[in-house]
Structure formats: C-alpha cells, structure tokens
C-alpha cells in the first residue's frame, strides 16, 4: 500500500506559496529525514515511488520549486535559478526545525544539494546524486534548452506519451507505451482548457540560457563541501549531462562516494530502477 503523504505549504522570502509533500514516516521513528529535490521541469511526483518506499523508515520531504506543480509561479522569471531555489529550501528547513538530513537530488536537485552543503557544511548526513555532478556537459544543456519552455499541449494522455517519446527516446530507448504514459502523468496535468500540458511555468526557460543559471560556477568548491559524506552517485549509461570522467574525478575528491551506472538509460534515471533502489537502501542502511 502506498505511503500516505500530506500536502503542505511554506512561504518564500518574496511571498510565494510553495508546496511540498510530507511523508511523516513511522510514528516515533528516529531515522534522519530525507529531502528529495527534483529536476528542472519536474515536480514532487517524480519521487512518488521512492518516497513511498523510504517512508517506511524515514520522514520524507519533497518540495516543489517555485513555478512547478502546486507551488506559485514567480512574477519575476529571474528568480528561477538554483541560488533562489536553495534560499527557498533553506526557509523550509528552518521552518521545520531540520538541522541534519539526507539529501537526494536529481539533476538540478543535485546542484541544489551541493549548494546546500557549501552553505552549511556538516548538516547533510548522506547524499544521493542522480545523474549530475560539478561538471555539467554543454551537450546535455543544449538538448534541454531545445525543449524547455516550449508550451506544448496534447488532447489525450496517449498523445502526451508519444510526444515525450519523440523528444526523449534517445535517453530511454527501451521504454514501452505504459512507461511513457507513466512519465507523462508525472510531468503533466490536465489544464483548464482540457488539454494535457506540462506542469511548470514556461517562464523557467527565460533565465535558463543565461550564464551561471543552468549550472552555477565553481561547483567543484561546492562538491568539496561534501568531502567524506557517504554518497551514492547514480549515472545513466546514456547520459549526456554527466560523463564517466566526471564520475571518476568525483570519486577521487570524495573517497566516501560509491557510483552505479543504470544501463540503457540516459538523463536521468527515475530511481525506480531495481539497481538504483537497492543501492539507495544500501547507502541509507548505514546512516544513523
């Protein structure tokens, strides 16, 4: 049975009403809370399967960044950048009194994880970095720039699934229709006009191409704030955003890092893959 979660909200410094899913975990549990941070165009549904799983032991918090899901859209599109997202998450952590936690970050969420560590070293007890590192490849950024903010909509869920397949099949060459439908329902919603549209503010594309917004500079410094922290790096075998060479360098700089490669998957693994899920459990089992 799926774990129960609560829809909760917090307020940003500029007055936005921001949403998060709160999975309470077992009553009286002592395990550290898990903070799950999603990618650029994604939302809390991305972690639905993993959060259900981890909530058997942990409180799991899955915030939706401004402009995504049930969170308010920002009137100023320049605020759609990782530094502001981190500021928003800092307010949530402070409001909830969370001073030590486990972080799981996919893509942009992994960038945010490094920035959170750099801001206050020592508070992150363990990290899962999903297909992201301190070097973000221009090829992958260019591909993302080609579809983010396009505002496409579809008449049916099958059309939406086929639309995703047309764009993302190089990253998921083995997906069948059911898997594309699942991805569509994670990333899209039925809009007011009855068509199926992406569940984010198209304006997030405006600052994405500006220098330092897609990937903040000097990320190796931020990554080094995680030195010695138990870490799992999940890489998609077909990833165009994270290279095997960057993975190697990350391992040199953090000997506490273990890495796995998910075969026949690009950017980014869902973390529902059996090998990814098993590796996450193995990491968290050793964390108090």
Q: What is the DSSP string of 252-272?
A: HH-TTEEEEEETT--S---S-
pLDDT given at position 1:
55
CA distance 115 to 129: 13
The percent of residues above 90 in pLDDT, for the chain, comes to 90
Sequence-distant (≥ 6) Cβ neighbours of residue 224 within 8 angstroms? 253, 254
Q: What is the mean pLDDT of residues 99-115?
A: 98
Distance CA 252, CA 250 (A): 5
Task: Work out the pLDDT band at 83, boundaries 50, 70, 90.
Answer: very high
Q: What is the mean pLDDT of the chain?
A: 95
> Could you tell me which residues come within 8 angstroms of residue 205 by beta carbon, excluding any fewer than 6 positions away?
145, 148, 149, 150
pLDDT at 217 over 90: no
Higher pLDDT, 103 or 27: 103
Question: Rounded to whole angstroms, how far apart are CA atoms 69 and 90?
Answer: 19
Report pLDDT digits (tens) over 145-170: 889 998 899 999 999 999 999 999 99
Mean pLDDT for 55-63 is 97
pLDDT number for residue 242: 97
Whether residue 267 has pLDDT greater than 90? yes
Domains of the chain, first to last: 6-137+208-285 (3.40.50.1820)
Query: Is residue 258 scored above 70 in pLDDT?
Result: yes
> Does the pLDDT value for residue 198 go beyond 90?
yes
Please tell me the predicted confidence (pLDDT) of residue 288.
Answer: 66
User: Is pLDDT at 286 greater than 90 in this prediction?
Assistant: no
pLDDT of 98:
97
Provide the pLDDT for residue 196: 98
Cβ atoms of 137 and 211 closer than 8 Å = no
Residue 287 clears pLDDT 90, i.e. is over it: no
Q: Quick check: 113 pLDDT over 60?
A: yes
* Strand bridging mode 153-154 / 60-63: unpaired
Half-sphere exposure (Cβ direction) of 108: Cα atoms closer than 13 Å: 23
Task: Judge if pTM exceeds 0.95.
Answer: yes
Residues with Cβ < 8 Å from 285, sequence gap 6 or more? none
Q: Are 266 and 107 in contact (CB under 8 A)?
A: no
9-18, 26-35, 55-64: least confident range: 26-35
Using alpha carbons, list the distances in angstroms from residue 135 to 98, 111, 147: 29, 10, 21
């Amino acid at each position: 049975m799926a774990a129960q979660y609560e829809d909760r909200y917090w307020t940003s410094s500029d007055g936005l009403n921001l949403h998060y899913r709160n999975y309470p975990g077992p009553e009286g549990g002592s395990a550290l809370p898990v903070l799950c941070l999603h990618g650029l165009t994604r939302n809390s549904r991305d972690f639905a399967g993993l959060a259900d799983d981890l909530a058997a032991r942990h409180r799991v918090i899955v915030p939706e960044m401004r402009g995504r899901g049930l969170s308010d859209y920002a009137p100023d599109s320049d605020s759609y950048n990782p530094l502001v997202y981190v500021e928003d998450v800092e307010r949530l952590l402070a409001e909830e009194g969370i001073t030590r936690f486990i972080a799981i970050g996919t893509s942009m969420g992994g960038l945010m994880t490094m920035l959170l560590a750099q801001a206050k070293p020592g508070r992150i007890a363990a990290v899962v970095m999903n297909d992201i590192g301190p070097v973000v490849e221009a090829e992958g950024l260019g591909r993302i720039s080609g579809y983010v903010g396009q505002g496409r909509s579809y008449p049916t869920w099958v059309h939406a699934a086929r639309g995703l397949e047309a764009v993302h099949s190089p990253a998921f060459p083995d997906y069948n229709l059911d898997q594309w439908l699942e991805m569509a329902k994670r990333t899209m919603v039925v809009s007011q006009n009855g068509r199926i549209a992406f569940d984010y503010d198209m304006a997030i594309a405006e600052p994405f191409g500006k220098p330092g917004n897609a990937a903040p500079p000097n990320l190796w410094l931020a990554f080094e704030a995680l030195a010695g922290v138990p870490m799992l790096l999940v890489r998609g075998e077909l990833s165009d955003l994270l290279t095997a060479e960057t993975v190697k360098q990350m391992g040199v700089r953090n000997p506490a890092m273990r890495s796995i490669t998910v075969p026949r998957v690009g950017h980014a693994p869902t973390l529902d893959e059996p090998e990814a899920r098993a590796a996450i459990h193995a990491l968290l089992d050793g964390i108090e």
